Amino acid sequence: MAFAVLTRDPADAATYASALAPLEVVAMPVTRTVELSGALADADPAVDVVMVMSPRAAHMVVKGSVKAPAVWAVGPATKRALEIAKVAAHVPADVVDGVGLARALVQSGVAGKRVLVPRAEEGRTEPLDILRAAGAEVIDVIAYRTVPVAAEDPAVQRGRERLLGGEAAVCCVFAPSQVAALAQIVRLPEVRTRMCAIGETTAAAVRAAGVLEVAVAATPTPEGIAQAVRSVYPIGR
């Protein structure tokens, strides 16, 4: 049996099982999210648009009961997180990150509008700069932070063993913060497995960690990851 180690929690990793079959998916949640209590509750509620750049931000928006005339979101995973809570969102086609979402929102017209952007403490700020340059009033809310888990955390042991034992056909990573956390648990250049990244920013972090060969998903979806895996390891189509 060959394994695909995914640096996500079990629930998120399970959504990739079908696309990656016959590889057995092993969840290795190398980071965890810490909510900053009250961050959204303290934000000004009078906004025109909420810009949601990740599934975690979507969870924060839902939990904080944030309301706005318009919600813009990026990617299918974020869309699913909002749909589960029955929050309607505009998800522009072919937009794969926060920068692309900000540019699409600018094209719709944001001058004079108040745009709420809940984000991670370590998140990129380029999308906010794009909105401000277009005349939007940005309400920047740091709603959560991502922290690495300890190498001895039981949640990562199965994935760690597969990587160190050479049983993992591929290791799929989904954010630069996950790459950094993974590198604290295993020495990436010494791991005998193929690396796949959800996007080019994450791939750059993998290369910076000492692994020069990394397959990059064409789209940030289970199908995109499966395509990247197929480029380095034979799985069914």
Do the Cβ atoms of 4 and 168 come closer than 8 Å?
yes
For residue 30, what pLDDT band results from cuts at 50, 70 and 90?
very high
Q: What pTM, to 2 d.p., does this model score?
A: 0.78
Could you give all domains of the chain from N- to C-terminal order, each with its CATH number? Answer: 3-30+150-230 (3.40.50.10090), 34-147 (3.40.50.10090)
Residue type, position 45, single letter: P
Q: Of 59, 30, 64, 44, which is closest to residue 146 (Cα–Cα)?
A: 30
Average model confidence (pLDDT) across the chain: 91
pLDDT digits (tens, 9 = 90+) for 89-135: 999 988 888 999 999 999 999 999 999 999 988 888 999 999 999 99
The count of C-alpha atoms lying within 13 angstroms of the C-alpha of 174, restricted to the half-sphere facing its C-beta, is: 23
Q: What is the reported pLDDT for 38?
A: 66
